[in-house]
A and B are shown apart, each in its own frame.
Chain A
Amino acid sequence: MLNINYPKIEKKEFPNLQLNLVEPIIKLNLRGKSREFFTKIGKILSIMLPTEANSSATIKNISALWLSPDEWMVYGRDIDKNLKLSLDSEISKLNLGSVTDVSDQWVLINLKGKNVFEVLSKGSPFDFNKFKNTNNVVVQTLLNHIDVILHHNDTNNVNLFVRKSFSEHLWLWINDSSSFL
């Protein structure tokens, strides 16, 4: 059998901050703009793709993140291979848009606790003042010069997505910064 190898990201505790690698879960990149595309996605995932900028929609264990007017990322424990296959056959194959598996493209790190935005502010030029008081918001920005997607899904709880090749470096950086809170 093939082994799964992930960057060395383990649970870490800091004052008012927990960092945690989220085990590999399916993440899909969706592109499209036609009405049919929205309807089909809505049907298959039971979720309406958010059209408001920088927002997210979550139903049960599936979250859909707005990335641009024609791009979303959906992720969550409730997305399985079958769901993925039906998206592929009903969207990509019918040329309604594009469904691309990016489960391994992105590594998901969860940051939890009062100090989440303190740490993020050390390396990101984004203004978190409003963001931290709103749930279900998304931002694509830079953290220590590395592209990240931040999903604020619950108060002081952020899912951070980073490209896999950057993940080890960013993980070390977050740990380092967390020790100077």
Chain B
Amino acid sequence: MSAREQWVAFLTLVTKEIRRFTRIWPQTLLPPAITMTLYFVIFGNLIGSRIGDMGGFDYMQYIVPGLIMMSVIQNSYGNVVSSFFSTKFQHSIEEMLVSPMPSHVILNGYIVGGMVRGMLVGLIVSLLSLFFTHLSMQHVFITITVVILTAALFALGGFINAIFANKFDDISIVPTFILTPLTYLGGVFYSIDLLPEFWRAVSLANPIVYMVNAFRYGVLGVSDVNVYASLGAILAFVIAFYLFALWLLHRGTGIRH
């Protein structure tokens, strides 16, 4: 396939993915908006007003970046894992396998589709948060970079999960038992500096801590960890996950006999 043909194929796949999640918006865009609004009301307004400041900001302001990041993570992952697994389940993946589309175009199409949903939900949650608090971006480049890399990383995670999944249960195990606990313990609702030394050290092994803090640094200008080291680590994970996913796709793991 020529570069131009690959570009057309890539755009086709991204458009297909966007059309899919916008067609079922009550399942994809509405629930995170409602969930996050409840978080803002309960944790931000009702409980947050009794907690007081955290990291020099009122509690609502402090948790908003973490909640935006949580939306991006869950939706980037969820979009790709459910879309790609459904494609396998319905055998419509054969439409792509018989075509001359190279593996990297298929992978890029799904990843960008997942990133678009993650970032769109992130934008919706950001706009909703403005009804509850004031947000100003301190470091635009870092904020955008962290969102893009995090969305890419979790979209890749969702893709790898879908490749190995054989039944619908397999696509809910990772989000339920790994992703959600790591996100809740990833410094979304608190600064890890509040933790005892041992648990702080344990928290530093959680990759989501770095993403949440890097994003919080971009928005509020404060972080519990070194932001540039965080960006470097996320980028390294993105590259490793991308190469692994591409290798799986190329050899046909889970999709070809």
Indicate, yes or no, whether A interacts with B. no
Report which A residues bind B (CB closer than 8 A): none
Report which B residues bind A (CB closer than 8 A): none
